[in-house]
Amino acid sequence: MLAALGGFVDELRSSGLPVSVGEHLDAAQALAHVPLDDRGAVRAALAATLVKHEAHRSTFATVFDVWFSLGRADVGLLAGSGSGEDAAGGGTGDPDGSEDLAGLLDAALASGDPALLAAVARLAVDRHAGLGRDRRLGAGSYERYQTLRGLDLDAALARLSGALSLGAGPEGSGGGGADPLAVRLAADELAERGARLRVEIDAEIHRRLVAERGAAAVAGALRRPLLADMDLMHASREELAQLRRCLAPLGRALAARLARRRRHRRRGRLDVRATVRHSLGSGGVPVEPRFRRPHLAKPEIWVVADVSGSVAAFARFTLALVHALSNQFSAVRSFAFVDGVDEVTPFFAGAVDLDTALRRVAVEADVVAGEGHSDYGAALEAFWVRYGQEVGPRATVVVLGDARANYHPSRPWVLAELARRAGHVHWLNPEPRAYWGSGDSVMGDYAPHCEGVHECRNLRQLGRFVEALA
């Protein structure tokens, strides 16, 4: 078990979870106090000792399900060889057993029996997944697609949902058809059973892949970056929704950290002359050191964000985070552009919900002045003409974008003028640094006029930059 735990901890570290040696030892100690044949108890003990953040829980669950998948108790109903007669009624005149499987599926969804759902998952994987073929190692997504397509789970759910209106609901759900609330509750219960069956199918596929290829290979194929390290430019819709939920906790954590840092810095540096003068009253002994009180000026932030195409998600996250930390800055002004520019600061005014403000930026901001494709040169020049005279030495200008100008003139003189008037100019680029300067990228034209040019592809990098900025 200790060897399995060591491999499990190594895989967690490879997936990005920070697991220390002490926590590894704590996990080993915890396993001495739980029954090792109780998978739920083992999972709870390891989670309690190894998971320190809610955002890490899904990664831990994925690695645990793969690494300890072979420890699952076999479901006795369908012991899983996959052959027609042994697996499900081969003498029924149904050569591939599809009718028997369909009936078993309906029974499992109607009853919600966990053992029966697991049995259906085993049989469906046997029949339809195509495991054991000489294919490139993957994470089981193709096998899952094959299984769900052969099982036709959506059709079964639709068929049973239709029966609810006729008074035949899932067993024990109370869906009599007459009461709309009862029918709705029965439909929700049916959908939840379908979701549980999908989970069982995933678990069964992973178990068989582990048996065939080893836990390390399957865990490596399933490995995904932590949410904080998710590439904003390539995140799926579901991942973007999860990232949006992380913004508020990230903003609160950063605000607390910045406020604490400011409190610690208020003491200032030691004032030697004042300390010596004050020590004359104590015979020259510096009983009370004196410090120079620092002037903790909060920066004034101007955020100029490209909101076109694929960089729009990155711009929305940055705008949301900066405004969530607005109390750490003396002022925050925000501007959005495509080939025109518009100030969007009023959309964030007051205690407005950030999602509402971002939707208003997308719908109401007047950011298109021509063809509607990114034109950094034209947008920056328009920004300089309309707002450039308001930029002062207390301002820190932060430009957000990939600097892909669609082969339009870059007009780097605008950034040079902004750098001359502003206290600081930074550029955040969501593309990998290796891509800068390739194709229509004009990053090389702008970089010499910026105090800092930063690759900023995920929430972790974004948080570090905002923390350093404040």
What pLDDT was estimated at residue 356? 81
What is the mean pLDDT of the segment spanning 164-179? Answer: 54
For 291, half-sphere exposure in the C-beta direction (CA atoms, 13 angstrom radius) is 9
> How would you write 302-352 as a 3-class SS string?
EEEEECCHHHHHHHHHHHHHHHHCHHHCCEEEEEEECCCEEECHHHHCCCC
What pLDDT score was predicted for residue 94?
47
Count other C-beta atoms under 10 Å from residue 105's C-beta.
26
Residue 133: its pLDDT value, please? 58
pLDDT score of 178: 53
pLDDT at site 39: 80
Distance separating alpha carbons of residues 359 and 350, to the nearest angstrom: 16
Q: pLDDT for 279-312, tens place per residue?
A: 887 877 887 887 777 655 667 889 899 988 768 8
pLDDT tens by residue, 116-155: 888 888 888 888 877 765 555 555 677 778 888 888 888 8
* Residues 39 and 64 sit within 8 Å (Cβ to Cβ): no
- Say what the pLDDT of residue 222 is: 67
**Residue 312 CB-density burial (10 A; 0-12 exposed, 13-18 middle, 19+ buried):** middle
> What is the overall mean pLDDT for the chain?
79
Which amino acid, residue 144? R
pTM of the prediction?
0.63
Q: Within 13 Å of residue 141, how many CA atoms lie on the same side as its CB?
A: 4
Q: What is the pLDDT of residue 105?
A: 83
What are the tens digits of pLDDT across the range 344-373?
988 887 656 777 887 888 888 888 888 888
CATH class of 299-469: alpha beta
pLDDT in tens, 442-457: 999 999 999 989 998 8
pLDDT in tens, 16-32: 888 889 999 998 999 88
pLDDT digits (tens, 9 = 90+) for 198-257: 888 888 877 777 777 777 776 666 667 777 778 877 777 777 777 777 777 777 777 777
